[in-house]
Structure 1
Amino acid sequence: MDFGLVLQTDPPASQVVGLMRRAERNGFRYGWTFDSAVLWQEPFVVYSQILEHTTKLHVGPMVTNPGTRTWEVTASTFATLNDMFGNRTVCGIGRGDSAMRVAGRKPNTLARLGEAIDVIRDLAEGREAEVDGNPIRIPWIKNGKLPVWMAAYGPKALALAGQK
């Protein structure tokens, strides 16, 4: 059985890194953080430090969303971390209920979320994907790997999560 923990990226970030290091020492496999840029510090910056100071811990957002970050930037960010630290990220993704609402926007539709999951995974793993009608590929990604886990509640979202 694998264990994980979820932390807010409240300042100071060094405390979050320290807690993640402690979690790894105590057998945790996953270290998650929230991803609401208005509410907490930038998690991807914190992930780089967590990954630098751990050896086995897998990190990622619980959860990011396709509305506050562009899909190609999300894919490239995960791929960069994986290239630097050895495939130890997981993309937790959802509609963006809190992150979008706190910014005064509506959460993403399930259709948009489903499309984003496929595009982010394909790009992060080095495959071509269509973004806003344009085929793109991130050329430096050769052997990328990115598990994408969808957050869901309600029958329609759960059905989509089962497909992804």
Structure 2
Amino acid sequence: MAIKISVMLTGSHPMHDYIWMAGQIESYGFDELHIADDLIMRPAWPILTLIGHHTERITLGPAIVTPKIAHPVYHATSLAALDELTGGRAVCGVGRGGLNTLIGIEKPYKTTQMLREAVTVMRKVIARDATPFLGEFFSTTGELLLHQQPVRSEIPMFIGTWGPKISQLGGEIAIGIKADCVADPEYLRILRDNVHIGAERTGRDPSEAEIIIGPLCSISMDRTAAVSMMKQLLAIFLPFTSPMKEAHGIDDDCIRRANAAYLEGDHSKAESFVPDEAVRAFSLTGTPDDVIPQIEALVDAGATHIAFGPPLGPDFKESIRLLGEKVLPCFRSGT
């Protein structure tokens, strides 16, 4: 069962720690390393520059950047620079952003159109296409021409989403989608079917579309510690998971209580409000023997690429070792 297996890190770590973290991840043979570009942590582009300079093989990119925070031209030039630094090892996820409410964006307006235009503009910049573009959200003039010659005129981009409608866009205009926080095969099938609808809309073979699944991850030989860490993360993150939390029937009152307790500093109380169903729906949590069957079920449901998401586990070095030595080999050719 050969699929891509990757890792995502957030911007929560001290900057220089990313050097040895990326080194460990690359040494185990993971395919890609994604860096989250969350509003409340260190931004992705400087982290990617740092690890790009200290790695040799692994594909690198942000997952995801949002044109709501910075113009797509900025993201395009940053992506081209990363591709230059790494000798053509860059990839990029583009999405609406999961923490928009923190900057007062309660209901994103015409998200599909915004992302369609953003990807169009980014591709034009990287291809050094100076044809003017006039969109509803973004525009460029004929004078906008990247001064340097990019290493590649086209850099792979995927759409970051966990919603069905935008999954269609990923199948239509990008290499596919990345759906973070998804660990339920039934929900994955919904996203997969919508990616295929988008691919078929443009005459593309649906089997060529990438379905990258980025479940939250807490791996340890201490199952209790792994679950505890995951429930604490979910106490923070569950409020931002629509429409998945509704699809899984996660009680809003439990979400509010868990989040409030965590913000008040009572982490044990916060854990008590996070249901086990949320752990199963959004994450791969437990020992390697616990999560390998979950990954197999995700692959059977259509995942072509698994990207292990935060927090990875109670002990980073142990978690990466377990993933690299116990989990990764199960999904390589000939195994």
Q: What TM-score results when the alignment is normalised by the length of structure 2? A: 0.45
1:148 is matched with which residue? 157
1:138 is matched with which residue? 146
Q: CA offsets per residue over residues 55-78 of structure 1, 9 Å max, x none?
A: 011111111111111111111111
2:78 is matched with which residue? 77
Q: Contact 1:121–1:147 at 8 Å: present in 2 too?
A: no
Correspondence 1:7 to 2:9: yes
Name the aligned partner's letter for residue 114 of structure 2. Answer: R
1:66 is matched with which residue? 67
Q: Distance in 1 between matches of 2:5 and 2:164?
A: 26
SS of 1:157's partner is helix
- 1:1-164 counterparts in 2 under 5 A? 1-36=3-38, 38-98=39-99, 100-106=100-106, 107=108, 109-128=111-130, 130=133, 131-135=138-142, 136-144=144-152, 145-164=154-173
Structure number with the higher helix fraction is 2
Q: Contact 2:7–2:34 at 8 Å: present in 1 too?
A: yes
Q: Distance in 2 between matches of 1:125 and 1:59?
A: 20
Name the aligned partner's letter for residue 96 of structure 2. Answer: R
Structure 1 residue 142: Cα displacement: 4.6
Structure 1 unaligned spans of 5+? none
SS of 1:13's partner is coil
Change (3 A) 1:13 1:23: same
Q: Using the aligned pairs only, state the percent identity.
A: 23
Q: Contact 1:94–1:151 at 8 Å: present in 2 too?
A: yes
Identify the range of structure 1 (38-47 vs 118-127) with the bigger mean alpha-carbon deviation: 118-127
Q: Contact 1:9–1:41 at 8 Å: present in 2 too?
A: yes
Name the aligned partner's letter for residue 77 of structure 1. Answer: S
Structure 1 residue 134: Cα displacement: 2.4
SS of 1:17's partner is helix
Count residues in correspondence: 162
Structure 1 residue 26: Cα displacement: 0.2
Structure 1 residue 143: Cα displacement: 4.5
Asked which structure has the greater CA Rg, the reply is 2
Name the aligned partner's letter for residue 48 of structure 2. Answer: Y
Name the aligned partner's letter for residue 59 of structure 1. Answer: L
Q: What TM-score results when the alignment is normalised by the length of structure 1? A: 0.89
Change (3 A) 1:142 1:42: closer
RMSD: 1.8
Q: Distance in 2 between matches of 1:86 and 1:133?
A: 28
Name the aligned partner's letter for residue 101 of structure 1. Answer: T
